[in-house]
Structure 1
Amino acid sequence: MTDTEARTTSSPTTRVPSQRSSPGTPTPSPEHWLGEVLAAMGCRRAGLKWQCPAHGHTGLHSAALAIGRRDDDRGAWLHCHAGCSVTAVLRALGLRPNHLQRPPHITPSRYVHLRGLRREWPELKNAAHPERAGYRHEAWHLYGPDHAKQRMRRADGSKTMRWESRNARGEWVPGLLGTREADLPLYRQDEVRMAAAASESVVLCESESSCDALHGVYATTWAGGAGSPPVETLTRVLEGADVVIVPDHDDAGLACLARLVVALPHARVLVGELGEDAKDLYDRVGLDRFLEQLASAPTAESRGGREDFRSHAG
């Protein structure tokens, strides 16, 4: 056999490329790779959320883990709505933070197999739409261009809220897509900025329904309830504005007021009768009297930081 024949007939040792590295197979984006890993693990999915591998493998629970593409296109983000940290989720997946930008160069199914991540997952809670529980639409409340809260109420007066958000394709889908309520803008924030620039008074109350009811008055609130006012956002947006805080006159509302006056010491305070919120006070006294009370409301600073606001009912 000649040297030429030997070179042409011998079988060289070659490495067969994996499916991921094959020139004809596109590399999945990090968020798609993560989703395929969760699917290969057996995680259940409800809408845009998955069972969270950091906590969702025991007990009855709702799908909580959202995955998406970062706005700067530099990888994926993770957010567990049940409170698990990104570190905890990555640890449960056997991944490091840099894998959110560049996942391991291996197919998701093989990764799950090699890591031994496949397991049985519990059933999800029945995530029935509120309408099935007798709730009916009452109002939509927009928080910026990409988030909206729907208020729904039953005949017995009980209410519930649900969120929808605009995804990267411009579609409105359920949930906040990983955004925290504390990071949302204030309700009607653009109007509030215009009012502040025009030296108009701005009422800060506890609910969107109160804001909507105060016709002829600039009013705002925040996405969370009385227990979680976003102090940093309120301070930043309302700095320099003539703010009048009109809290709900109950224990939770007065506790919230105590936190607000620390963040906004120059704000003025108007408290209605026991049990009233801003809407109730407005309905009871009418627009003209309400405006008079706003104009004469004393500042929180002038009352002293520890004063009991129950004694200042309108």
Structure 2
Amino acid sequence: MTRIISDFAEISTNYNLALVDLWGCVHNGERVYPAAEAALQAFRKAGGCVVLVTNSPRPTAGVQAQLDAMGLSHDAYDGIATSGDAAQAGMLMGAVGRRVWHLGPEKDDSFFTTLPDWAKDQPEIERVSFDDAEGIVCTGLFDEWTETPEEYRGRFLSAKARGLKLLCANPDIIVDYGDKRIYCAGALAQLYDQMGGESFYFGKPHPPIYDLARRIATSKGVKFSEDRAIAIGDGIGTDIKGGLVEGIDTLFITGGLAAAEFGPDVENPDSKLLQDWTATQEIVPTFAIGRLR
């Protein structure tokens, strides 16, 4: 059974590493949650290490710039592991070929232009038209504000017939940007899989991003131990499932994507509703809290 806590400090001394989701946990796409920032600062001040683990399709530099623009203090975290970094490595290794069609908005161009130093030793990745592509690199919808995945069904039928594989740079299905809910690359990859296509995933809940996060923690002097690490986030099928697969404790932020499921008080989830809902998901977090604080 999931234990509901009132603040992270109740359990934080049990851990030396926190793998913390960003969107819906630390910020809402527009502003940082002050209580979450303070909780992470307190954890680090007590000797803990915080690695922000995000399914953003952007490399770390892009996420860092976004966090700086929102004003998240640098003393709230030690490092950042992004799905973009992990997926970019897969692309550079040729997971979907060398001639790729980019499915996603222009804001994600850094996925192809901001490359790690070791990329210079790899064969070039060329962005080409859909008709000339050997594979698809998906960072999102072309217009995430107005489009839905169903609008890509026709293009995906053609891609499947040609045997194109799809590299998904962000396994999230949806995300809340302020008050608006938008689809992510994971929704497109999910549709492609349902249609019989083949997609590769690198972000949560899949192993590559956790391997990256552990390497970042190790570089900060943290000796990784499963019983001393906790995954924190609002995505039951990404943050929490990923943590469970990695064999570590989890803290579910109920006031995020699934907030409407747990009663009218976002800060204080209803215990019965939480237990019933997690049972239907067949994913049971170790702990839960309304908002990270």
Please identify the structure whose Cα radius of gyration is greater: 1
The structure that is helix-richer by fraction is 2
Task: Tell me the TM-score normalized by structure 1.
Answer: 0.26
Using CA pairs below 8 Å that are at least 6 residues apart, which structure has the higher relative contact order?
Answer: 2
Task: Tell me the TM-score normalized by structure 2.
Answer: 0.27
